[in-house]
Amino acid sequence: MTPVTIWQTFDSAFSVRFSTMNTMCQQINQKHYLYALGLVVPWCIYRWYKGSRRVTKKEDKYVYITGCDSGFGNLLARHLDKQGFNVIAACYTEKGEEELKNITSDRLATLHLDVADSKSVAKAATLIKTLVGPKGLWAVVNNAGIALPSGPTDWMTIYDYKNMLAVNLCGVIDVTLSVLPLIKKAKGRVVNVASVFGRVSAFGGPYCVSKFGVESFNDSLRLNMAPFGIKVACIEPGFFKTNVTDTVAMKNNLRQLWERLPQDVKEDYGPDYLQASIDMLEQRFNMLTDGNLMKVVYCMEHAISAVYPQTRYSAGWDAKFFWLPAAYLPTSIADRLFRGNAPPFKPKV
């Protein structure tokens, strides 16, 4: 046989064997996909069934909710009241208390609460202890929070940080600790409302700092309370149309922050930066904010009433498919993404 004939014979045999091996690999991969699919479907059914189970005797269970004047807290108080829970709705204003009483049953009790004032928190806890009696408190929902002031970090003062941390972080901790002995009695729940911006800092100011703190407190509390049978859940909403994301208030906030800035800082950013920030804020909020607040309320309700609640709830499509995935990106890529969506300007040299 000539060298050419030998090579042709070898090449033909190799091609046949390679084709056979490739076919076998494809068949194996197809089987693996079928096996994986066969495992995923039962797992989804099991998870759905497990999550669908609800606690019984709701009429004996008390739920303490902060920030019930409006938004998520107000809707949750009304929703749980209809389901038969004994709701203790904490409001910051008398108007909020009166309006809530007028549209709910006699089971719902309201009280005044300023989560940034420890005396107010302690007074509320004493009243709740009297209401719940020996049964204890089934759940506390730390919903109260503020979002302003918000802007670039070098526009802020330390007092801006202290004021927001007093409400969004210290208030959550203070309220939780004030009723934790009552929750231990009932082997109940602690539900903390954080934000997707407790997982990723997409802008400056104290808001993300406060929500990162809530996430950390939530995680440590969950570990510490597990031996007592207490379940701790964290709600992480995306953008929703509430008082916190009111565009008029946000734009006024930016103007007020700009007006109080020293002249040298204004020159650093340039005269057009303020208007560019306002325009971009309105564009982003109109594009991202979701008007269906019940998406968050249903997550809260599940954390309270499910036999097996989740440890974290991501509410809103933007949270699930943009903000949370962005939190797992490499830092360099995430930074480039967020800088690319910031108002354009050239810092003064």
CA–CA distance, 13 with 20 (Å, rounded to integer): 11
Q: Do the Cβ atoms of 247 and 287 come closer than 8 Å?
A: no
The pair of structure tokens assigned to 314 is 């991501």
Amino acid code (one letter) for 264? D
| Residues annotated as catalytic (active site), given as ranges | 207
CA–CA distance, 235 with 211 (Å, rounded to integer): 11
The pair of structure tokens assigned to 25 is 């690999």
Q: From residue 8, how far is each of 2, 15, 18, 61, 164 by CA, in Å?
A: 10, 10, 15, 82, 78
CA–CA distance, 155 with 266 (Å, rounded to integer): 10
Q: Sort 99 into a burial class: Cβ within 10 Å, 0-12 / 13-18 / 19+.
A: middle
CA–CA distance, 207 with 161 (Å, rounded to integer): 8
3-class state of residue 312 by DSSP = strand
CA–CA distance, 83 with 80 (Å, rounded to integer): 5
